[in-house]
Chain A
Amino acid sequence: MPEIKLEHITKRWGKFVGVKDMNLYIKDRGFITLLGPSGCGKTTTLRMIAGLETPTEGRITIGDTVVFDSVEGINVPPAKRNVGFLFQNYALWPHMTVYDNIAFGLRNLKWNKEDIDKRVKELLEMLKISQFAHRFPNEISGGQQQRVAIARTLAPRPKVLFMDEPLSNLDAKLRLEMRSELKRLHLDTNSTFVYVTHDQLEAMTLATEVCLIKEGVIQQYDPPLKLYTYPNNLFVADFVGNPSMNFVDSKAKKLKNSEIEVDFAGVKTIFIPNEPIDLKNEDVVLGIRPEFIKIVDDSNIVGKVYATLPAGMETTIKFKINDQIMTSVVFGIIDYELDSNISIDFLGKNICLFDKVTGENLGLGRLVNYSKK
């Protein structure tokens, strides 16, 4: 069964290191996304697994076969790795019709004519592009080209499917639509998907596991919701979630019962960790998701509304406490007057405490108002 294993994979171009000693295990029938800012090495990683790029060091295994090993000198060519690859710009062959584009791979595998015809028609049907079968790629729209590319990739029924930002050339509405179709496709085809994107929302919504990469190094490899609630470090916390997490620089002081006093922007609060925390520095960063900041009728913490972004379903409010700008999200149809005062409170047990020096997440906990305690 096609599980994929990367062991100590490194890719260098001269002195530049693209991917650094990467270890990654992709389980069978998973849908994993490689996420990260542009230039972080995610596409390179994907191309190395597919065999389009040769790693400098390491070992890659697909299923039971070692497809690459720098020590043993194994390098199976991409054609023999039994994988499908969906390119960002679709890479449809401009001189072939939609039908021929899809059929090309099957003819290559020496399928007989009827089988090819049956399979191509099935795919055209499935992706709702039957009426374009005899058009050339430049005669159909971007969304349709996208579907043709998917059909072409799926045609030989690959057990592993690689996708390199396949939705980034589509408009926002179409992208949303294609997302749910891809998720459905994953279920229907029963294969392993590896998906590259720089869009955190796409990564979160599609994947069973998200692999967040920064400068060629994996930062966190977890299911999306774990990534969201328990980010390993400041980079992950900042990258995932929109609007992004509030980061508040503060000074920490250990109290009794593992409680920690944290002061920020002139506000005194107490952080009650869910599990005891080992505090190494007094410089810490509080990480508070916008939805964990509640606007209440009355509290000791008062802020001034800086800007509001009402979107209908929810309103994003930026407010200032002294000089610290923070973001909160309020659900429902609501708006606040600029420069008016609001009282806030902190919700839930999922507020993060980061070490400012290492950026490491020390633990989750509650944040309570000092004076209320």
Chain B
Amino acid sequence: MFGIVSPAWLVYGGIPCAICLGIHYAPFAYILIGGTLRNMDANLEEAATILKASRWKILRKITLPIVRPALLSTVLLVFASSISSYTVPLFLGVRGDFWTLSLKMKSLLGSGQKVGEGYVIAVVLLLFSVAILLVNQLSIGKRKSFTTISGKSSQVTYVNLGKAKWFIFILTGAYCVFFAIVPLISFAIESVVQESGDLSTFTMYYWITGEETSEYIQGSVGLLRNATVWKAFLNSFLMSAAVAFLAGTFGILIGYSIAKKRKTGLANYVSSLSFFPYLIPSMSFGAIYLAVSCQQAFSFLYESLFLLILVGSIKFLPFASKSGTNAMLQVGGEIEEAAIIQGIHWYKRMTKILFLIQKSSFISGYLLPFISCMRELSLFVLIASPGLILTAVLANYQTYDLTQMSNGINLIIILMVLLSNMIVNKVTGASIDKGIGGN
């Protein structure tokens, strides 16, 4: 497309996987580190300015050390997520003969004979994450741990970027266009052309045809008539909604209990426990539940939507509980106590007072699992049958090289995510980044 032919090594293999994952996790890093930076008191830097420290020195000696814990956890968490990532290597790695642990695991678990080896990989991945978690805990030594939020006057001072302003503007603008808008358009285009990148072969064939587009997949008719796709779409939606409801509600409740018992050992324990599912690689997580559902006693779970909801709501609980906890901690205890004194029932306190005060944070607590769930594949790939949810359908079409069909499905997923985010945003004023402590 666009007449630029990329060399093969830049399209498939290890390097593109790395680039792609890097871009994928950039917003994550932005939210984590940006949140810390935003909470950092400008006075800390001003104090150094007054003492004649240069800008570079301030950055090196003051700013970076203060955000270092956040920086380090981000690096480690991204590392942990990347090592077990499945989706990106699936699309970009396989054809470049770039096999990752998670890809290997999927093929082993799917093979039927070497299932044991697959579980071994799942355990290895799990151990990796635990090791990273330990490193993270150790590096944030107890004595030097500090909160950056301090006292009353948090002055906000804007840095005058001078001429660099335009440079940064163009750079970030180009970044957005290249990584957000171009892919969207190209998905749309790719789903309506016969030959990749050749607009003269325009056709709506893959959207509306009644013929089977692939001999390997049954019922692989045009996307708009494709019963499998629509059913999967509905399933995806239902599952995401259920997961969002469960995870979000539990997140609020966890947040509430942590806030109530703040600073006690139990609260810290619950808090770290609720974050634990996040650190388990999605694939290992899926493997665990695959193992569970293969047991005789739990066979009713096997490849059922219910299992997906169960897995999803546990896996995405950390986001929800994090935003729930943040929101609850912000509401002072007195606000609730004022209601208790007046004899207002617990349920009413929750719904009429606490929820309304922190409405936008709580809603993002629901929104986050919903969106993550809509687009999640690696978590479900082991436990969902190929036609059950939209991302699984996508993976199936991709396996059989049906570019147009998979691009079309991809477009549907992306639009769905953007649309739901936009609707919630408009209706409630909540946004995702508010949830993860980035307010």
Enumerate chain A interface residues (CB-CB to B < 8 A). Answer: 43, 50, 52, 77-80, 83-85, 87-91, 93-95, 104-105, 108-109, 136-139, 152, 156, 164, 169
B266 CB, nearest partner CB in chain A, Å: 23
- B46 engages A95 (CB within 8 Å): no
Which of the residues A80, A95, A152 comes within 8 Å of B47, measured between beta carbons?
A152
Known A79-B52, A156-B51, A169-B151; judge A87-B146 contact (CB<8 A): no
Given contacts A79-B51, A164-B153, 16 further A-B contacts (CB under 8 A): A43-B153, A78-B46, A79-B50, A79-B53, A89-B41, A89-B43, A89-B150, A89-B152, A91-B150, A93-B65, A94-B146, A95-B65, A95-B144, A104-B48, A136-B143, A169-B152
Decide yes or no: A91 and B47 within 8 Å by CB, A104-B61, A108-B57 being known contacts: yes
B305-343 CB mask vs A (1 if < 8 Å, else 0) is 000000000000000000000000000000000000000
Q: When A93-B62, A94-B66 are in contact, do A136 and B53 touch as well, CB less than 8 Å? A: no
Shortest beta-carbon contacts, A-B, top 5: A105-B51, A89-B151, A91-B43, A94-B146, A79-B52
Task: Look across to chain A and name the residue whose beta carbon is closest to the beta carbon of B61.
Answer: A104
Once bound together, how far apart are the Cα atoms of A181 and B143, in whole Å?
31
Tell me how far the C-beta of B253 lies from the nearest C-beta in chain A, rounded to whole angstroms. 31
Cα distance, A84 to B148, chains bound together (Å) = 23
With both chains docked as a complex, state the minimum distance between the C-beta of A11 and any C-beta of chain B, in angstroms: 14
When C-beta atoms are compared, the residue in chain B nearest to A135 turns out to be B143
A-B pairs with CB below 8 Å: how many? 82
Instruction: List B residues at the A interface (Cβ < 8 Å).
Output: 41, 43-44, 46-54, 57, 61-62, 65-66, 68, 143-144, 146, 148, 150-153, 157
Interface centre among A43, A94, A138, by most B CB within 10 Å? A94
In the complex with contacts A91-B43, A91-B47, A95-B66, A108-B157 CB distance below 8 A? no
Contact yes or no, B44 A93, CB < 8 A: yes
Contacts of A43 in B (CB 8 A): 153
Contact A85 B50 (CB under 8 A): yes
Please give, as numbers and ranges, the residues of chain B lying within 8 Å of A93 by CB-CB distance: 44, 47-48, 62, 65-66
- Given A50-B50, A52-B49, verify A91-B144 contact (CB < 8 Å): no
Given that A89-B152, A108-B51 are contacting pairs, would A138 and B146 also be in contact in the complex, using a CB cutoff of 8 Å?
A: yes
Most chain B CB within 10 A, of A50, A85, A89, A139, is at A89
Instruction: Say whether, besides A89-B43, A108-B57, A94 and B49 are in contact (CB < 8 Å).
Output: no
Nearest A-chain residue to B51, judged by Cβ: A105
Give Cα A89–Cα B152 distance, bound, in whole angstroms: 7
Which A residues touch B48, using CB under 8 A?
A: 93, 104
B49 near A91 with CB under 8 A, answer no
Say whether A88 contacts B153, CB under 8 Å: yes
How many angstroms from the CA of A84 to the CA of B47 in the assembled complex? 9
A23 to chain B, nearest CB (A): 25
A77 — which chain B residues lie within 8 A by C-beta?
49
Chain B residues with CB below 8 A from A138, complex form: 146
**B157 vs chain A, min Cβ distance (A):** 7
A-B contact pairs, 5 of them (CB 8 A): A50-B50, A52-B46, A93-B47, A95-B146, A108-B51
Contact partners of A137 in chain B: CB under 8 A: 146
With both chains docked as a complex, state the minimum distance between the C-beta of B132 and any C-beta of chain A, in angstroms: 23
Query: Which listed residue, B47, B66, B68, B148, touches A87 by the CB 8 Å rule?
Result: B47
Pairwise interchain contact A84-B50, C-beta atoms closer than 8 A: yes
A13 CB to nearest chain B CB (Å): 11
Centre residue among B48, B49, B52, B151 by max chain A CB count within 10 A: B52
Q: Smallest distance from the beta carbon of A228 to chain B beta carbons, Å?
A: 29
Residues of chain A within 8 A (CB-CB) of B50 are 50, 52, 78-79, 83-85
Which residue of chain B has its CB nearest to the CB of A83?
A: B50
Given contacts A108-B57, A136-B143, contact A87 B46 (CB under 8 A): yes
When distances are taken between beta carbons in the complex, the residues of chain A under 8 Å from B144 are 95, 136
Compute how far the CA of A90 lies from the CA of B144 in the bound complex, rounded to whole angstroms: 18
Say how far A81's CB is from chain B's closest CB, in angstroms: 8
Q: How far is the CB of A185 from chain B (nearest CB, A)?
A: 18
Nearest to B48 among chain A residues (CB) is: A104
Residues on A with beta carbons closer than 8 Å to the beta carbon of B68: 95
Query: Given the complex, which residues of B lie within 8 Å of A109, measured CB to CB?
Result: 52
A88–B157 CB distance below 8 A: no
Q: How far is the CA of A139 from the CA of B142 in the complex (A)?
A: 12
Residues of B within 8 A of A90 (CB): 151
Contact assessment for B46 and A85 in the assembled complex, using a CB-CB cutoff below 8 Å: yes
* A94→B45 CA distance, assembly (Å): 12
- Contact pick for B153, options A79, A89, A95, CB 8 Å: A89
Residue of A nearest to B66 (CB): A95
A88→B61 contact, CB < 8 A: no
Whether the pair A108, B52 counts as a contact (CB closer than 8 A) is yes
Q: Give the shortest distance, in Å, between A33 (CB) and chain B (any CB).
A: 18
Q: How far is the CA of A67 from the CA of B44 in the complex (A)?
A: 23
Residues in B neighbouring A136, C-beta threshold 8 A = 143-144, 146
Q: Give the one of A84, A87, A139, A164 with max B CB within 10 A.
A: A87
B53, A108: Cβ atoms closer than 8 Å: yes
A79 close to B57 (CB less than 8 A): no
Please measure, in the bound complex, the distance between the C-alpha atom of A138 and the C-alpha atom of B152, giving whole angstroms.
Answer: 16
CA–CA, A295 and B54, complex, Å: 64
By beta carbon, the residue of chain A nearest B53 is A108
Contact B52 A91 (CB under 8 A): no
Min CB distance B49 to A, Å, is: 5
Task: Please tell me which one of the listed residues A52, A79, A88, A108 contacts residue B152 in the complex, with CB atoms under 8 A apart.
Answer: A88
Nearest neighbor of A54 in chain B, beta-carbon distance:
B160
Complex CA–CA separation, A156 to B61 (angstroms): 18
Contact indicator B53/A87 (Cβ below 8 Å): no
Q: Would you give the shortest CB distance from A41 to chain B, in whole angstroms?
A: 15
Nearest B residue to A95 via CB reads B65
Chain B residue, CB-CB nearest to A81: B50
Provide the bound-state CA to CA distance between A137 and B52, in Å: 22
Q: How far is the CA of A156 from the CA of B62 in the complex (A)?
A: 19
* Contact across chains for A94 and B148 when beta carbons are under 8 A apart: yes
* A325 to B51 alpha-carbon distance, docked (Å): 53
Residues of A within 8 A of B46 (CB): 52, 78, 85, 87, 91
Instruction: Note all chain B residues with C-beta closer than 8 A to A139.
Output: 143
* Cα distance, A108 to B61, chains bound together (Å): 11
Contacts of B54 in A (CB 8 A): 79
Bound Cα distance from A91 to B157, whole angstroms: 15
Smallest CB separation, A163 vs chain B (Å): 12
